Amino acid sequence: MRITAEGSTALIIDIQKNLFPLIHENKLLLKNVNILIAGLKALKIPLMVTRQYPKGLGDTVDGLRDGLMDIACIDKITFGCCDEPSFMENLKRIDKRFVIICGIEAHICVLQTVTGLIEAGYQPVVVEDCISSRRAYDKASAVERMRQEGAVITTYESLLYELCRYAGTNEFKEILKLIR
């Protein structure tokens, strides 16, 4: 199964100020997610951003929000994004098969979103080096469960090259600068 740029949308789940400092390897996560977002933008893949209960968990982290200023956040109080009606309306409007996923926490909101997407007929593509939890073992357990449920598990570098497909294009040159 080839993941294509034309058939994909991306979802940044709940990378918020009040939870982010507690996340395992959060600085590396932020670096990786920023590279992924820049690459997805270069490939013109539509992005969605969610915030879990922003009154308590805050806004999207500053180091990430800068690259997402043109994207409206979907606020939710559900753990899984698919349980939020406005998210599902937006996803149906975008009309893409593959949903590229990054965010926190892997074992709660990411996992429940993945299972909801599969149930709704979408193919989740989980970018493993762009998800995390407060504890490493929670992330590891979630990745295993998502794999068993049928999600594609990948890394940002592998995914960006797969979506790009060809060397020598302007998109490839932009991605190459990000990854080096």
The catalytic residue among 109, 130, 139, 164 is 109
Per the annotation, the verdict on 92 as an active-site residue is no
Per the annotation, the verdict on 109 as an active-site residue is yes
CA dihedral sign, ordered 135, 9, 34, 169? positive
The catalytic residue among 76, 96, 102, 130 is 76
For residue 91, which of 172, 167, 10, 165 has the smallest C-alpha distance?
10
CA dihedral sign, ordered 64, 111, 27, 22? positive
Measured distance CA(89)–CA(84) in Å, rounded = 9
- Bridge partners for 13 per DSSP: 50, 103
Per the annotation, the verdict on 81 as an active-site residue is no
The catalytic residue among 14, 82, 96, 164 is 14
Q: Name the residues annotated as catalytic.
A: 14, 76, 109
